């Protein structure tokens, strides 16, 4: 049982209001707080089943909609767009602002960050820029592309931005990113087969008007800049060495290069001296492991890991 509330706070971009969903346990002691950072072309309220489960285990949960997603709409800008300048950093700063606000509501409680997909990349940026603020972090559906892949993506993004502008959609850039993910599962039923092994989950994603929107060229470029930042070993070494980190993903998730990219990220964290590291890859699952038929087992793995660190 949870009290569900919503509110807005000003973004660090100085003009956008950031939408927040909050779930607060009722009738039990609050043992900790979990802040969720969602993925690209989705929004915080999609994590309601996971949040309700965590509330049942005593955790308060918050999830904001990132800039250009859900109800955090940039005035005059398209969806799936982080803004004209410094969008990636604004999103990370908004995450830190939500952490500060929520920590004041639940003083003294262990505070955890959960990031999925793009949210895992944003979370890793947060861990580097704001070390020592958290009790632990769960990185779900993450990856660790090579410098060559990132450089190639930037080249295409910059060419397309010069041709079309940052607010535009480019089929060429989209095919380079998401199209490459989907080709792993050819012949394809939909363009989002990579999202889930369950056709019902894929169909629900497609039917949701706030999911699957066309990513702008600006977002592609911002994300590539973010990936450059988080995959640099000297940056990883700026993280809190005592921070517990749990990597989870489907072993058929193309974002994590079918598990290989998740293991590369894990190895880089280990090399940086972060000692409380765990990793679990789920056989047969693709990108959105929290929405699969087996999600209750994954929810329990996460909550067990969190409770061991409360």
pLDDT computed for residue 114 by the predictor: 99
- Residue 1 pLDDT > 80, yes or no? no
pLDDT computed for residue 148 by the predictor: 96
Average pLDDT over all residues of the chain: 96
Q: What is the pLDDT of residues 61-90, one digit of tens each?
A: 999 999 999 999 999 999 999 999 999 999
- Residue 300 pLDDT > 80, yes or no? yes
> Where are the strands (E) in 154-252, listed by range?
245-250
**C-alpha pair distances (Å), 18 with each of 51, 67, 171:** 19, 7, 29
Indicate the pLDDT class of residue 177, thresholds 50, 70 and 90: confident
Using a pLDDT cut of 70, give the percent of the chain over it: 100
Closest CA to 258 of 290, 231, 283: 283
Task: Decide: 88 and 35 in contact? Cβ < 8 Å.
Answer: no
pLDDT computed for residue 179 by the predictor: 85
pLDDT computed for residue 307 by the predictor: 98
Average pLDDT for 281-307: 97
pLDDT computed for residue 5 by the predictor: 97
Q: What is the pLDDT of residues 243-277, one digit of tens each?
A: 999 999 999 999 999 999 999 999 999 999 999 99
Cβ atoms within 10 Å, residue 242:
12
pLDDT computed for residue 280 by the predictor: 98
CA dist 229 and 219 (Å) reads: 15
Average pLDDT for 130-152: 97
**C-alpha pair distances (Å), 309 with each of 78, 79, 269, 278:** 40, 37, 19, 13
Task: Decide: 196 and 116 in contact? Cβ < 8 Å.
Answer: no
Average pLDDT for 216-224: 97
Query: Global pTM?
Result: 0.97
- Residue 100 pLDDT > 80, yes or no? yes
The CA-based dihedral angle spanning residues 171, 225, 166, 114, taken in that order and rounded to the nearest 10 degrees: 80
Q: What is the pLDDT of residues 178-217, one digit of tens each?
A: 888 999 999 999 999 999 999 999 999 999 999 998 999 9
pLDDT computed for residue 131 by the predictor: 97
């Amino acid at each position: 049982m949870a009290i569900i509330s919503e509110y807005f706070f000003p973004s660090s971009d100085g003009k956008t209001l950031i939408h927040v969903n909050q779930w607060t346990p009722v009738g039990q002691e609050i043992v900790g707080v979990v802040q969720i950072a969602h993925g690209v072309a989705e929004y915080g309220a999609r994590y309601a089943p996971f949040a309700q489960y965590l509330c049942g285990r005593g955790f308060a949960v918050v999830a904001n909609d990132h800039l250009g997603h859900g109800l955090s709409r940039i005035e005059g800008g398209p969806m799936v767009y982080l803004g004209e300048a410094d969008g990636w950093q604004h999103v990370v700063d908004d995450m830190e602002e939500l952490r500060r606000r929520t920590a004041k509501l639940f003083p003294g409680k262990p505070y955890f960050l959960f990031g999925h997909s793009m949210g895992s990349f944003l979370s890793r940026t947060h861990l580097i820029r704001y070390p020592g603020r958290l009790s632990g972090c769960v990185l779900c559906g993450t990856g660790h592309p090579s410098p060559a892949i990132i450089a190639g993506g930037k080249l295409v993004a910059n060419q397309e931005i010069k041709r079309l502008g940052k607010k535009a959609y480019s089929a060429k850039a989209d095919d380079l990113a998401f199209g490459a993910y989907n080709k792993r599962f050819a012949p394809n039923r939909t363009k989002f087969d990579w999202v889930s092994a369950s056709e019902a989950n894929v169909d629900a994603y497609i039917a949701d008007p706030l999911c699957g929107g066309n990513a702008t060229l600006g977002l592609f470029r911002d994300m590539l800049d973010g990936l450059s930042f988080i995959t640099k070993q000297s940056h990883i070494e700026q993280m809190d060495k005592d921070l517990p980190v749990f990597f989870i993903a489907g072993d058929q998730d193309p974002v994590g290069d079918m598990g290989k990219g998740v293991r590369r990220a894990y190895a880089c964290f280990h090399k940086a001296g972060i000692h409380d590291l765990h990793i679990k890859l789920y056989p047969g699952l693709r990108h959105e492991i929290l929405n699969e038929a087996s999600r209750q087992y994954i929810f329990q793995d996460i909550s067990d890991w969190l409770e061991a660190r409360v």
